Amino acid sequence: MRKLYILFFILFSSVFFGQTYSITLRYRANGAGCHAAGYNWSFYGNTTSLASFSDGGNSMDVPTTYTTYANVANYLSFKLYLSNSCVPLGAATKDCNDNNSSEVTTINLIKGAYLGLNGCNGGVSVDKFIPNVNIKNLDVANPTEVCAGFQLGLAAFPDGFPAEAYHWQYSSDNMITWVDVPATINGVRTNDIKTVNFSMQDILGTNHANFLDKQIYFRLGYTQTRAFSSPIAIKYSSCAPVVKQVVYIAPKCNGDNVQQIDVYFNRNLKPNEDIFPLYLKNEDPTKTSPLFQLPSPVTSLNFDTATNWYTYSFINPGVLENNNSYTIKYQARLSGEPAGSLQSSQTPFVYTDPPKMQFKITGQTQPTCFGGQDGTIDIEILSGTSPYNFYVDNVLTAASKIDNLHYKITSLKANHLGYKIKVTDTNGCIEK
């Protein structure tokens, strides 16, 4: 038996600016049934030979072998050649002489494409193809934490790899599951790029508050098992009181100001901490103007004994649009410097304007005799909230209920000037 190993290790040079790959080849061969067997493979980057292996003989046996080349230069593509031969031993039917090659671009190998060959005696394939990359937090002053609402800047190095090598992933469950960072966020590219910027809320979505004060991990890689870089952990901190609940008291009458909006926070303000700005935000993306924004910072909150939370109340804040959804958005500051920026994580509340108080006169009868007091006026309620009050010339007057929407005012004298009729609902609302 003869064995010949020829392994070429290509060190990166200044031509490649430090972009190298760690590549693991997997190969095996067996000459059982052959009087004489041959097995050879070669591995190329572009047209440069990087590694090769040769074996043969009457009892050729190459067990499954993994060989890693830790610093292979950045070529445009990689290619495998495989040659197998066998002279049958006795009555054995095995007889072959094959030569095959396969080439895959570097970009596709980064993304996980298969590069391998198989012949009658054995095969060879790329088992791992990993760009030698690392990542870091661009915030060198606070590299292990990011405040809610703030941009997280991450960078990969070195430069010069294909864009696919800078494929960002994150894990919110202690590295059990890896999720691809979206390709774009708000129209800005945020994946397959060397430097990215986004907030935790951008990637975690509407449930981001569930991950406050937890570690979020980031890395470069694909799927669940192909990590390119070591992960880094970033603590997602609120850096601000967190809104737990928003309760609004609707106006009594249609079109009036909202009576009150109560915002419940999970904690009180710290010394030298305030909230500014604080406002309502319409969830309709076409309506971007802040609503009820405070002209000055919130410097104190009130303790609510029923919930053990701390509250701020907008009193008589203004008018909202019917059937629109709203949420609270705010910025905490510490000694005047921006800290956490959040919006309420609960489902936005939907503002419902009370129904209008509307009615119409549907009929009337004159007194049957001169000077009589048996005239009537029939009223139909079109909208409003019962029970209703009826006024004749601004005097509260009893009305007979026919059904929920129809009423009759009776015992009226003839009046050549006519009567002024007013109807109010349970909230004192009148038709406007």
Domains 2-131 and 358-424 share a fold: yes
289, 311 Cβ separation under 8 angstroms: no
CATH of 2-131, one of 1.10.30, 3.30.1370, 2.60.40, 3.30.750: 2.60.40
CATH 2.60.40 at 134-237, yes or no: yes
pLDDT at 93: 67
Strand pairing class (349-350; 325-334): antiparallel
- Do β-strands 389-392 and 325-334 pair in parallel, antiparallel, or remain unpaired? unpaired
Fold topology of 243-350: Immunoglobulin-like (2.60.40)
Q: Which residues of 104-117 are buried (b: 16+ CB within 10 A; e: fewer)?
A: bebebbbbeeebbb
Q: Which residues contact 79 (CB under 8 A, 6 or more apart)?
A: 43, 44, 45, 101, 102, 103, 104
Write down the domain spans for the chain: 2-131, 134-237, 243-350, 358-424
Would you state the pLDDT for residue 354?
Answer: 87
pTM: predicted TM-score of the whole model, two decimal places: 0.71
Contact predicate 126/152, CB 8 Å: no
Distance CA 421, CA 361 (A): 9
pLDDT at position 432? 63
> In whole angstroms, how far apart are CA 100 and each of 29, 81, 103, 182, 183?
15, 6, 11, 39, 38
b/e for 32-56, b at 16 or more Cβ within 10 A? ebbeebbbbbbbbbeeeebbbbebb
What 8-state DSSP symbol labels residue 320?
-
End-to-end Cα, the chain, rounded Å: 105
Predicted pLDDT at 92: 61
In this prediction, residue 341 carries a pLDDT of 85
How confident is the model at residue 302, as a pLDDT?
97
- Those residues of the chain that have pLDDT short of 70 are 1-17, 91-93, 432
Measured distance CA(260)–CA(250) in Å, rounded? 7
pLDDT (tens digit, 9 = 90+) per residue, 43-94? 999 999 999 999 999 889 999 999 999 999 999 999 999 999 998 887 666 7
Q: Say what the pLDDT of residue 414 is.
A: 86
The third-level CATH classification (topology) of the domain covering 358-424 is Immunoglobulin-like (2.60.40)
Q: How far apart are CA 209 and CA 345, in angstroms?
A: 6
